[in-house]
Amino acid sequence: MRQWYRNATITTSLPLSGELARHLEDAARAQRKEPAAMLEEAVKQYLEDRSWMKLMGYGQERAKALGITTEEDIDRLIAESRSEQRARIALDNEALRSVRSSDCI
């Protein structure tokens, strides 16, 4: 079984069209970087973008499931959640007071 380390470097070969390879070399030269460094940055950016798109897709699914269509819906749901949380805290505090007062008897 292979063990991968975070900073491990793997050398690979990627076929690029002649035109794309020239553009990559020109861009790398303009930024004073190696083409490999440019490709690594591009792949990292692509993977990060995919991750964000996946997260946004999840958010859209949840919004649809909750019936959220406007920012006002979000504000309303936050207010409802905070109100419910305050009510739970109030009940918990009342229960604690009840237990404490019965302990004193």
8 vs 4, higher pLDDT? 8
Residue 104 has pLDDT above 70, yes or no: no
Rounded CA separation 105/100 (Å): 9
Q: What is the DSSP letter of 34?
A: -
Confidence grade of residue 27 (pLDDT, cut at 50, 70, 90): very high
Residue 8: name the closest of 45, 42, 40 by CA.
Answer: 40
Predicted structure pTM score: 0.57
8 vs 48, higher pLDDT? 48
Residue 5 has a pLDDT of: 62
Residue 53 has pLDDT above 80, yes or no: yes
Extents of the domains making up the chain: 18-67, 69-105
Rounded CA separation 28/7 (Å): 22
Rounded CA separation 62/37 (Å): 38
Q: Write down the number of H helices and E strands in the chain.
A: 3, 0
